[in-house]
A and B are shown apart, each in its own frame.
Chain A
Amino acid sequence: MMESDRRRDSRTWDWDSSQCRAQLDEVFFRPHDYIQTGSLEHKEFWSFFDRFQRFKGKRDMSLSKGSDEVKDGNQESKSRKKASVDLGLPKDYDARYRINVSVCTRDVEERLGVSERRRQTSSGPGKEEVATCRLTLLHFLDFCQRQSFCKLAKLRREQKSLPIFQYRDRIVELVRTHPVVVVAGDTGCGKSTQVPQYLLSSGFSHIACTQPRRIACISLAKRVSFESLNQYGSKVGYQIRFETTRTPATKLLFLTEGLLLRQIQQDAELGQYQVLIVDEVHERHLHCDFLLGVLRSLLRLRQDLRLVLMSATINIKLFSAYFDEAPVLQVPGRLFPIQVIYQPIPPEEQPSRSEKLDPRPYLRVLQGIDQRYPIEERGDLLLFLSGVAEISTIQDACQTYATHTRRWIILPLHSTLSLAQQDKVFDIAPPGVRKCIISTNIAETSVTIDGVRFVVDSGKVKEMSFDPKAKMQRLQEFWISRASSEQRKGRAGRTGPGVCYRLYAESDYEAFAPYPVPEIHRVALDSLVLQMKSMGLGDPRSFVFIDPPPAASIQTALTYLKEQGALDGHAELTSIGRLLSQLPVDVVIGKMLVLGSVFSLVEPVLTVAAALSVQSPYLRSAQHNPDCATARQPLYSNQGDPFTLLNTFNTWVQVKAERGGGSRKWCRRRGIEEQRLYEMVNLRRQFKELLKSHGLLAAEQGATCWRDRQQRRQRLGERKKLHQLKRDHDLQEGNRRKVLRLEEGEEGVGSSGSEGEEEGRERRGKDGAGQSVDIQEVKFKLRHNVTELQEAAGASRDLSSRQQALLKLVLCRGLYPQLALPDEHNATRKDSEQIFHTRNKQGVVIHPTSVFASDPEVLHVPEQEPRETGPEKGESSRHQLLAFVTLLETNKPYVTNCARVPALQALLLVASSVDTNADCTRVVVDGWLELTLSDAEAALRSISSALTLRDDWERLLQAQLRNSATGPAAPAVSHKDLGKLSEGLVRFLLYTEAASTLLNKVSYGLRRLGGLESQNLYVGPQQVPGLPDAPALNPLFPGIKAEPHPVKGGLRVTGFFTYNCLSDSKDMYSECLRTFWSCPHCDLYMPLTPLERMHHEATCRPAGELQPKEEPEDGKAASSSSSSSSLTRVYHCDVCDKDLTLTSTEILKHKRQHL
């Protein structure tokens, strides 16, 4: 009976049935077994099973045919083994004997009697099936072992074949015996991946390896952890601005140069590291040069520290000499031979300065390749041009050729492309077609593309330089250096022998500079000097750089930082300067953050500061796409670009909260690079944390968000899922290169293609990976709490006009002195010909990406001006200035990221130099802008309120900063005071105080002073016509002594305000002239001189409001006042014949008694 049962079983057994397989799963793949049901290996096992059975079937067939032969052979070998040792091998061959693993599964356990005898259920795997499965499992395990071992062996083989491998012991030995070692090796020698591993495996620990680029940190950490067999551990990690894989177990860390500098800023001795490797030192980035300087002095403090410099074989002596003749180990590179062909551009094809590039020389190279090299010989072309405009010119011409021949796919490569477009250069061309990548110098070092066989080098590069005179960045075209030229050539020989076409003569090459100009010689050093100050490195002018920057450059930076209030008169850090040095952003952006944190504007300011610190999310290529333009329209703000960015970010957060991954599509519609928004959200958070850690932002009541346990558990579960998604994504990564379509390049030319292309890309992604995970979205959700963000975005989304005015003021004060004045004739010019003037540069234009480029009218002074109040032409109450983030000269000087601000109000509130005549009807700001107010009363009122407001603002700011220095405790500034101040500022910006007449109705003229005028602006010290009234000498504001200005003449009333110093005063008596005035706060009504009035206003506050004397300026206050209050002084009244200690207002009142 059992027999028949069994037979029926085997007849019903079906290997392809999932039920049958599941029964075997219970035998072999139980939860505690080596392979578990449901795991990846489990799936692989069953597909292996199918293959294995098929293979066995075939082999059995062929074996049965030739079985006689085998037997014969067997006998033969038996007869031959007489003399040798008997190995005791089984006589009959079985592949199973070749497997060195055995598995204990349920069937074995049962056989061993661990559990009860096999249950004879009606169906279930029979003995045979179990045996088959078991044998297959053994083969599968063996197969897996072989597979992994082959990987390991291949890895080791590749490591051995690298040129640097022979120097392994030498390198380790040198590092053991020398504090500094220079390893110089060219492309492909393997130094970046191997040297850290050599040190790691020979017992060094706590190794840091710096890279100039974030992307290199990530890819190197990945590669090195794979090579050091720690792919899934954290022995090797990376740390970049927002991401780290570092754990306490990390022994080797890749990080950016900037980040290591920040770490030194925190811990001057850098105790956490034993070995520092500085890679790519020959690239001479600003941070790298500075880092070397810092490390040079650190080595004196830390005898145990080891420093390894890694460089291409460029200018090695420089590095060795800088570190006391450190030993140099030179390693040959691994490049295939490259043929160099000089093809100088004939004179008739040389572009003149203004013209577009002539594409003929470039097309000739493409044609030449088509003629000379058979299409079966693969190999792509990399073409180096200087800039984006050049790329698009040549791209157009090449595309026409490519469409015609169908043998090329033309791909541009530069940093303003979307990341998806940039990524295409790594995809593979279909057979018979070559890629032609047209790139800026980004492909020289930052981006490495395999498979390039031909290089075309234009010999040109556009480089940023800084013009300290105009405070302007300049992007100019230069000839490259010989070093760059060689680097470009090398790109052709990475994977095989190559050809390099140089579109210049050999004599040109000989005349090139040997090396590129190091960055430290080209850029503004503001941030560097600030950082040096905060690291206590003494006078930046005497710091020993490897290649010192020009002294003038450092001086410019010092002056600038003083102007910005980051350094005091002795070039020491101020409290705001100390804070700014901690923020990894430009000084102007940092200022914005600090200022914004004082008011309740933190959320919008955080967003704006982050937005202004990353590349614009708006893709240039989509600008001319009408659909994108329409979709973008609602995001635009005619207040200025920072506001547009703020809208964009807030709306995006909203979309993310509602639709999650749907934001990708939302961005694509609008031609927005979502990656930039992700960067913004990360940066924003970093800023927030920095402000919090400096006590400028109260620690949040964030806990309340998750007080609900249920909610918390939900969030935890969600996070777990997200982590899994991220892991899966990481596993799938690599080997995902796609094959390009021939039409790829055609859609991309110029503009509108991006949407269609990316759509296509996504589709392909889906085909490939089953489901496409938006990894950025996953990372975003892991890092940020969308609900919290949404609240923050909501808070800054619908700003009231008052908040907007205040935000603008914060931006303006942050960006100051980066202000531009619209040219007076702009109203009569075409949109494209609007020009502006900054203090140091005339005739700048608005960058085409700015909202004002398409809508310049909002900057014009309206025509219809009330004639009766503004008698003089050009007078208006609506003059505006542009506050801008950068001034960059390419073919024209452009200002980017602009916001418009009301001129008079903004200048009086932020300018660092305000000079007036006697009745304050003429105001000169920073020596270049002249404001003329015909209404003397309004003029005085404006200036007087501005003085008071600025005094209050400064005091609150200082109090806040002092508080942040002592640590985040209770808020130093009361909400009430803050409220009063912002109220006052808003009122000043939008309305006047008492008289209910609008300040923006104050009409004034605004113009730029001519060169001659600004030279003869001041009366000068010698012309002071005797000191006026005694009260004028009295300190008007606490801690600041009013005294004659040593250069300008007149009276310096505050740090920024000098009264009556302008040389063209219409009359000599205005300053003595008293006009009747009533104080809005007290009952004072009497005739006062302008100064007396300002004085009174500065000291008289409504009851209950902060009184200036409560907060004496630290340090200075003590010296300026010997008596109880800095405001009082000894006054001798002739009538009473008494010495009285009174404030000047009290003195006036006292005098009045005697009248």
Chain B
Amino acid sequence: MEFGSTEGTPRGLFTCELCELTTPFTYYGQKPPNTRAIVLLEECYVMKDPFCPEKEKFLVLGSTCSLCHKTVCVGADCSLFYTKRFCLRCVREHLDQFPPPIQAELMKKKPTGKTPGLASS
């Protein structure tokens, strides 16, 4: 019990289906533990922020794409949040529905060389 509270017991491994980033997560949902005031607007894979000494600080690792339901990390090369989570593949497919700033952003980014390559391997 003590163990869990200090070290954070992993509930499983989170793996991004696009970039394969893998890391253990300690909570899945919208209400990270020990954070009274915080509500997430989507169901997320969460861990204690490993780069922060306070134990109630959390880090969102990723969530599920609202369209294709792939598990994706929050990295800018894999997904974006715009009222909902979209993996970048789905964003590209439906780019026309996104507002211009996002369109411009993705144009600049171009099809990133790394991400799809890693995903297919």
Q: List residues of A whose CB falls within 8 A of some B CB.
A: 32-34, 39, 70, 73-74, 77, 80-81, 84-87, 89-90, 92-93, 97-105, 141, 145-146, 148-153, 156, 229-235, 249, 727, 731
Closest 10 CB pairs of A and B: A93-B99, A229-B50, A73-B100, A100-B81, A104-B37, A80-B96, A100-B41, A77-B96, A232-B53, A102-B39
Quick check: B6 and A249 within 8 Å, CB to CB? Answer: yes
Q: Which of A39, A90, A230 contacts B83 (CB 8 A)?
A: A90
| A235, closest chain B residue (CB) | B7
Q: Which of A33, A84, A103, A231 contacts B97 (CB 8 A)?
A: A84
| A55 CB → nearest B CB, Å | 14
* Residues on the B chain within 8 Å of A32, using CB: 36-37
* Residues on the A chain within 8 Å of B35, using CB: 34
| A84 CB → nearest B CB, Å | 6
Q: A101-B38, A145-B60, A152-B21 are in contact. List 18 more A-B contacts (CB 8 A).
A: A34-B36, A34-B56, A39-B54, A74-B99, A80-B96, A84-B94, A84-B97, A87-B86, A93-B102, A98-B80, A100-B40, A100-B42, A148-B50, A148-B52, A152-B61, A229-B23, A230-B50, A249-B7
Q: Can you give 24 contacting A-B residue pairs, CB < 8 Å?
A: A33-B37, A73-B100, A81-B94, A84-B94, A85-B94, A87-B94, A87-B97, A97-B83, A98-B82, A100-B85, A101-B38, A101-B40, A101-B41, A102-B38, A103-B38, A104-B39, A145-B60, A146-B74, A149-B60, A152-B59, A156-B23, A231-B50, A232-B55, A727-B53
| A232, closest chain B residue (CB) | B53
Given A149-B60, A149-B74: A33 in contact with B22 (beta carbons within 8 A): no
Assembly CA distance A230 to B7 (angstroms): 8
Given A145-B59, A148-B51: A98 in contact with B97 (beta carbons within 8 A): no
* Residues on the A chain within 8 Å of B21, using CB: 152-153, 156
B55-76 vs A, Cβ < 8 Å mask (1 yes, 0 no): 1100111010001000001110
Most buried by A among B56, B73, B86, B97: B97
* Residues on the A chain within 8 Å of B74, using CB: 145-146, 149
Q: Which of A97, A141, A149 contacts B61 (CB 8 A)?
A: A149
* Residues on the B chain within 8 Å of A230, using CB: 7, 50
Q: Which of B37, B55, B80, B84 contacts A103 (CB 8 A)?
A: B37
Assembly CA distance A74 to B96 (angstroms): 9
Q: Counting CB contacts under 8 A, is B44 at the interface? A: yes
Quick check: B100 and A152 within 8 Å, CB to CB? Answer: no
Assembly CA distance A622 to B6 (angstroms): 49
Q: List residues of B whose CB falls within 8 A of some A CB.
A: 3, 6-8, 19, 21-24, 35-42, 44, 47, 49-56, 59-61, 63, 67, 73-75, 80-86, 93-94, 96-103
Quick check: B44 and A100 within 8 Å, CB to CB? Answer: yes
Given A34-B37, A148-B51, A233-B6: A77 in contact with B82 (beta carbons within 8 A): no
| B84 CB → nearest A CB, Å | 8
Quick check: B82 and A97 within 8 Å, CB to CB? Answer: yes
Assembly CA distance A855 to B44 (angstroms): 77
| A899 CB → nearest B CB, Å | 50
Quick check: A89 and B23 within 8 Å, CB to CB? Answer: no
Quick check: A89 and B50 within 8 Å, CB to CB? Answer: no
| A99, closest chain B residue (CB) | B81
* Residues on the A chain within 8 Å of B85, using CB: 100
Quick check: B50 and A100 within 8 Å, CB to CB? Answer: no
Assembly CA distance A249 to B4 (angstroms): 10
Quick check: A149 and B50 within 8 Å, CB to CB? Answer: no
Quick check: A148 and B102 within 8 Å, CB to CB? Answer: no
Assembly CA distance A156 to B86 (angstroms): 23
* Residues on the A chain within 8 Å of B83, using CB: 89-90, 97
| A26 CB → nearest B CB, Å | 14
| B93 CB → nearest A CB, Å | 8
* Residues on the A chain within 8 Å of B59, using CB: 145, 148-149, 152
Assembly CA distance A89 to B103 (angstroms): 14
| A420 CB → nearest B CB, Å | 28
| B45 CB → nearest A CB, Å | 12
Assembly CA distance A34 to B31 (angstroms): 12
Q: Which of B37, B47, B103 contacts A229 (CB 8 A)?
A: B47
* Residues on the A chain within 8 Å of B73, using CB: 149, 153
| B17 CB → nearest A CB, Å | 15
| B4 CB → nearest A CB, Å | 10
Quick check: A77 and B97 within 8 Å, CB to CB? Answer: yes
Assembly CA distance A33 to B34 (angstroms): 10
Given A70-B100, A81-B96, A229-B23: A102 in contact with B50 (beta carbons within 8 A): no
* Residues on the B chain within 8 Å of A727, using CB: 53
Quick check: B99 and A89 within 8 Å, CB to CB? Answer: yes
Assembly CA distance A912 to B98 (angstroms): 95
Q: Which of A33, A74, A103 contacts B100 (CB 8 A)?
A: A74
Quick check: B100 and A89 within 8 Å, CB to CB? Answer: no
| A1080 CB → nearest B CB, Å | 70
* Residues on the A chain within 8 Å of B6, using CB: 233-234, 249
| B34 CB → nearest A CB, Å | 9
Quick check: A731 and B97 within 8 Å, CB to CB? Answer: no
Assembly CA distance A80 to B98 (angstroms): 12
Assembly CA distance A1050 to B69 (angstroms): 100
| A142, closest chain B residue (CB) | B81
Quick check: A101 and B82 within 8 Å, CB to CB? Answer: no
* Residues on the B chain within 8 Å of A149, using CB: 59-61, 73-75
| A86, closest chain B residue (CB) | B97
* Residues on the A chain within 8 Å of B97, using CB: 77, 81, 84, 86-87, 89
Given A32-B36, A100-B60, A101-B39: A148 in contact with B49 (beta carbons within 8 A): yes
* Residues on the B chain within 8 Å of A146, using CB: 74
Assembly CA distance A1108 to B105 (angstroms): 97
* Residues on the A chain within 8 Å of B102, using CB: 93
* Residues on the A chain within 8 Å of B100, using CB: 70, 73-74, 77, 93
Assembly CA distance A234 to B40 (angstroms): 29
Assembly CA distance A1057 to B52 (angstroms): 71
Assembly CA distance A151 to B75 (angstroms): 11
| A231, closest chain B residue (CB) | B50
Quick check: B23 and A152 within 8 Å, CB to CB? Answer: yes
Assembly CA distance A105 to B84 (angstroms): 23
Most buried by B among A32, A81, A101, A230: A101
Assembly CA distance A230 to B101 (angstroms): 38
* Residues on the A chain within 8 Å of B40, using CB: 100-102
| A29, closest chain B residue (CB) | B37
Assembly CA distance A731 to B52 (angstroms): 10
Given A98-B80, A103-B37: A93 in contact with B101 (beta carbons within 8 A): yes
Assembly CA distance A1094 to B82 (angstroms): 103
| A228, closest chain B residue (CB) | B50
Assembly CA distance A999 to B84 (angstroms): 99
Assembly CA distance A10 to B36 (angstroms): 31
| A251, closest chain B residue (CB) | B7
Quick check: A89 and B39 within 8 Å, CB to CB? Answer: no
* Residues on the B chain within 8 Å of A73, using CB: 100, 103
Quick check: B81 and A98 within 8 Å, CB to CB? Answer: yes
* Residues on the B chain within 8 Å of A89, using CB: 82-83, 97-99
Assembly CA distance A731 to B53 (angstroms): 9
* Residues on the B chain within 8 Å of A231, using CB: 50-51
| B77 CB → nearest A CB, Å | 9
| B80 CB → nearest A CB, Å | 7
Assembly CA distance A727 to B53 (angstroms): 10
| A549 CB → nearest B CB, Å | 44
Assembly CA distance A1123 to B107 (angstroms): 108
Assembly CA distance A39 to B80 (angstroms): 30
* Residues on the B chain within 8 Å of A156, using CB: 21-23
| A1113 CB → nearest B CB, Å | 54
* Residues on the A chain within 8 Å of B56, using CB: 34
Assembly CA distance A149 to B83 (angstroms): 20
* Residues on the A chain within 8 Å of B50, using CB: 148, 152, 229-232
* Residues on the B chain within 8 Å of A235, using CB: 7
Assembly CA distance A233 to B50 (angstroms): 9
* Residues on the A chain within 8 Å of B23, using CB: 152, 156, 229
| B98, closest chain A residue (CB) | A89
Quick check: A92 and B99 within 8 Å, CB to CB? Answer: yes
